[in-house]
């Protein structure tokens, strides 16, 4: 217990929250200064009472008994009271003011789940050949971890766009739902325009001014009711910055990457287009995004405090138990002595 208290004291500054309470420690002094308690007793007079006193050479006692103060009892009771007063004063360890991460932006992940994402042309961190979707999930997991302080949302799109996670500061939820998603869940096509339109609707429900979207796709727009560039211009009116990431291998005629459209989407919103041909390049893209959209910290008036009232409270309980234990032991000794006296 002493070691723990010492560690607490070393971790910050010791303070008393309510110093005025400590004046209550002087109350026992006032009790001591009070006059002793007097108990009236009954007097018994019998015929020849004075004669008996003269023969014994004694004087009759007064009809009042004065209670004697027990020094040991007073000491224990005062220590218990002192511990209770210290506990009531709320002792605490106050640490240094800390910087807290302040939510600075809404960060929306808009990720392609069309069938083309099942193409196995990526090598993961273990050197194994995996699909584009598996590579995106692996790198995105690290990216989400680094975004502590942002509120993140997740939209998955294929033939249609679906809101998987609304904006939340619980990034573990975003990571879990992303990892549980599978290619084809949103359909086979790549409706980029619809996904941007869905994102704009989500952003419009929130009041945070800094709005960032990361659009990840490996194909060209197909089947969108809203053209991608038109959707991007709509997003720009709501101060949304879109970073587009085109992934995949050049020359895949079945799923041709539309560099022009992705570049124009980014340009319309003052964002940037990145081409990620392999996992290493995709990691570089996310590192660049960290630099372009750094996490902002704000100094808050948050001061960590560790309350210590339970230590003197626990000591008061121990002293009370010890005090009553001594009284019980004294009473037991008296009973034993009385028994031996009677038997003798």
**CA 34 centroid distance within chain:** 52
Specify whether 280 is located in the same domain as 131.
Answer: yes
CATH number at residue 199: 3.40.50.410
Q: How far apart are CA 21 and CA 10, in angstroms?
A: 25
Packing angle between helix 71-88 and helix 310-343, nearest 10 degrees?
A: 160
pLDDT at 254: 46
What tens-digit pLDDT sequence spans the chain (344 residues)?
556 555 555 555 778 888 888 888 888 777 777 666 665 555 555 666 666 666 666 666 655 455 556 777 888 888 888 999 988 888 888 877 666 655 557 789 999 998 888 888 787 777 788 888 888 888 888 888 877 777 889 999 988 899 999 988 888 999 999 988 888 888 888 889 999 999 998 888 776 777 889 999 887 888 788 899 999 999 999 889 999 998 866 554 445 678 889 999 999 999 999 888 777 787 888 888 877 776 655 555 667 778 888 888 899 899 889 888 888 888 888 787 777 776 65
- What DSSP string runs through 72-126? HHHHHHHHHHHHHHHHHT-EEEE----EEEPP--EEEEEEE-SGGGG---EE-TT
Query: In 3D, which of 113, 242, 120 has the Cα closest to residue 190?
Result: 113
State which residues form the domain around 334.
2-96+304-343
Specify whether 205 is located in the same domain as 269.
Answer: yes
Q: How far apart are CA 226 and CA 233, in angstroms?
A: 11
Specify whether 19 is located in the same domain as 136.
Answer: no
Specify whether 91 is located in the same domain as 159.
Answer: no
List strand residue ranges (DSSP E) for the chain, in order: 13-16, 38-40, 64-66, 91-94, 99-101, 106-112, 122-123, 129-130, 151-157, 161-168, 211-217, 240-247, 272-276, 297-299, 305-307
Specify whether 320 is located in the same domain as 292.
Answer: no
Specify whether 127 is located in the same domain as 257.
Answer: yes
- What DSSP string runs through 24-65? GGGHHHHHHHSPPPEEE------TTHHHHHHHHT--PPPSEE
Specify whether 116 is located in the same domain as 91.
Answer: no
Q: How far apart are CA 169 and CA 14, in angstroms?
A: 34
Specify whether 14 is located in the same domain as 163.
Answer: no
pLDDT at 253: 47
User: Are 121 and 277 a contacting pair, CB within 8 Å?
Assistant: no
Distance between start and end Cα atoms, the chain:
49
Domain count, the chain: 2
Specify whether 283 is located in the same domain as 309.
Answer: no
């Amino acid at each position: 217990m002493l070691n723990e208290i010492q560690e607490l004291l070393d971790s910050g500054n010791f303070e008393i929250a309510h110093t005025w309470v400590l004046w209550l420690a002087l109350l026992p002094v006032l009790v001591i200064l009070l006059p002793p308690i007097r108990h009236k007793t009954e007097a018994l007079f019998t015929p020849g009472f004075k004669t008996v006193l003269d023969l014994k050479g004694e004087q009759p006692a007064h009809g009042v008994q004065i209670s004697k103060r027990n020094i040991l009892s007073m000491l224990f009771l005062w220590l218990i009271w002192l511990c209770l007063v210290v506990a009531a004063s709320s002792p605490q360890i106050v640490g240094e003011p800390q910087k807290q991460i302040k939510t600075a932006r809404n960060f929306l992940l808009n990720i392609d789940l069309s069938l083309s994402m099942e193409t196995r042309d990526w090598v993961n961190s273990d050197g194994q050949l995996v699909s584009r979707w598996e590579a995106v999930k692996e790198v995105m997991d690290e990216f989400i971890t680094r975004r502590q302080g942002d509120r993140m949302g997740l939209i998955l799109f294929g033939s249609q766009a679906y809101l998987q996670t609304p904006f939340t500061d619980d990034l573990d939820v975003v990571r879990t739902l992303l990892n549980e998603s599978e290619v084809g869940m949103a359909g086979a096509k790549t409706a980029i325009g619809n996904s941007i339109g869905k994102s704009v609707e989500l952003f419009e429900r929130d009041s945070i001014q800094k709005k960032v979207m990361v659009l990840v796709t490996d194909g060209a727009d197909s089947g969108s009711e809203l053209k991608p560039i038109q959707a991007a211009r709509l997003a720009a009116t709501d101060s949304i910055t879109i970073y587009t990431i085109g992934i995949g291998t050049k020359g895949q005629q079945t799923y041709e990457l539309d560099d022009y459209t992705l570049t124009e989407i980014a340009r319309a919103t003052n964002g940037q287009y990145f081409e990620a041909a392999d996992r290493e390049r995709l990691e570089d893209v996310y590192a660049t995004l960290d630099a372009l959209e750094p996490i902002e910290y704000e100094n808050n008036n948050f001061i960590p405090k560790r309350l210590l009232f339970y230590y003197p409270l626990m000591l008061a309980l121990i002293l009370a138990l010890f005090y009553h234990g001594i009284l019980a032991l004294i009473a037991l000794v008296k009973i034993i002595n009385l028994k031996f006296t009677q038997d003798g």
